[in-house]
Amino acid sequence: MKNPQLNKNGELQHLLGIDGLPKKIISHILDTASSFVDIGERELKKVPLMHGKSVFNLFFENSTRTRTTFEIAAKRLSADVINLNIAASSASKGESLLDTIDNLAAMHADMFVVRHATSGAPFLIAQHLNDTNQHHVHVVNAGDGRHEHPTQGLLDMYTIRHYKKDFSNLTVAIVGDVLHSRVARSDIHALTTLGAAEVRVIGPRTLLPSGLEQMGVRVFTDMNAGLRDVDVIIMLRLQNERMNGALLPSTQEYFKQYGLTLERLALAKPDAIVMHPGPMNRGVEIDSAVADGPQAVILSQVTFGIAVRMAVMSIVSGSNT
């Protein structure tokens, strides 16, 4: 089946998920991001690559950090950015998602950055645009339900590559609420595609989805065993807003079993890096001594995130169907 993210020339037309993306395209995004990292250090933080293009931020779900970094990235590419307050818009008055999209496309949008609580919403939008011959509008998934968060996955890969250079010898541990984490899914797809030596997932049984082994990962329910000799630790927050029913005895109990402390960090390799997609819950999944310690690269992830989102938007907007 044709990958809906790619145009007929095999170029990236939409970024909907990392699952199914060829290694060549992932590497191209990371390489392109490298050229954008220094722009943030300049006095004039702009390049004209998307001058005159209109980027619509459609956040059907709240997110300050992701929306802000997409906005900064688009403005650094010289695009015009329109932020829509969806909660107060037609969607809350009963207008269908695709009617909203058609109306915005009629305003000469060039790109939709979409965050939605429903898995698959960005795919639905991209399919609709293709079916209605609106090929000039590109879709970037900024997180959909429990499905994927591809730009977070890509910025995580950029961060790992920056500090560790090569994926082929790396053991990476993803720790915590994997069941509700779209970041974990994007990270697993990206790490396996880029050839990481071993991907481990660590968490309580109640927060691990079934079928993880089929994704090419090793599953651990014991934190100490899972962290032994790893090169990279990606901590996930507990997504209480997505949990139905009690999946854990208490946050204190969770921290006791799965919180990343200095003692547990010592089980990893001495030069292991600690990552977190944010927002962090200190004292729940990560201890402040670790979050603020020398092995944490969490703020670097945020900085790199702008360059990676610039890369995605510039590549996607440059593809013509």
Question: Per-residue DSSP letters for 97-142?
Answer: HHHHHHHHHTTT--EEEEEESSTTHHHHHHHHHHHTT-TT-EEEEE
- Condensed to tens digits (0 to 9), the pLDDT of residues 54-81 reads 999 999 888 888 999 999 999 999 999 9
The CATH architecture to which 150-302 belongs is 3-Layer(aba) Sandwich (3.40)
Mean pLDDT of all residues in 260-281? 96
Hey, what are 167's tokens?
């994926």
How far apart (Å, rounded) are the C-alpha atoms in residues 261 and 52? 48
Residues comprising the binding site for carbamoyl phosphate?
65-66, 115, 149, 152, 278-279
Q: pLDDT averaged over the chain?
A: 92
Burial of 170 (0-12, 13-18, 19+ CB in 10 A): buried
Residues comprising the binding site for L-aspartate?
93, 182, 237
- Condensed to tens digits (0 to 9), the pLDDT of residues 164-192 reads 999 999 999 999 999 999 999 999 999 99
* Predicted pLDDT at 90: 54
54 strand-pairing partners: 80
286 strand-pairing partners: 260, 282
How far apart (Å, rounded) are the C-alpha atoms in residues 220 and 103? 48
Give yes or no on whether 23-148+304-318 and 150-302 have one common fold.
yes
91-100, 137-146, 238-247: range with highest mean pLDDT: 137-146
Hey, what are 43's tokens?
């006095």
- pTM here is 0.94
DSSP 260: B
Question: Sorting pLDDT into bands at 50, 70 and 90, what band is 250?
Answer: confident
Residues comprising the binding site?
65-66, 93, 115, 149, 152, 182, 237, 278-279
CATH topology of domain 23-148+304-318: Rossmann fold (3.40.50)
- List the chain domain ranges: 23-148+304-318, 150-302
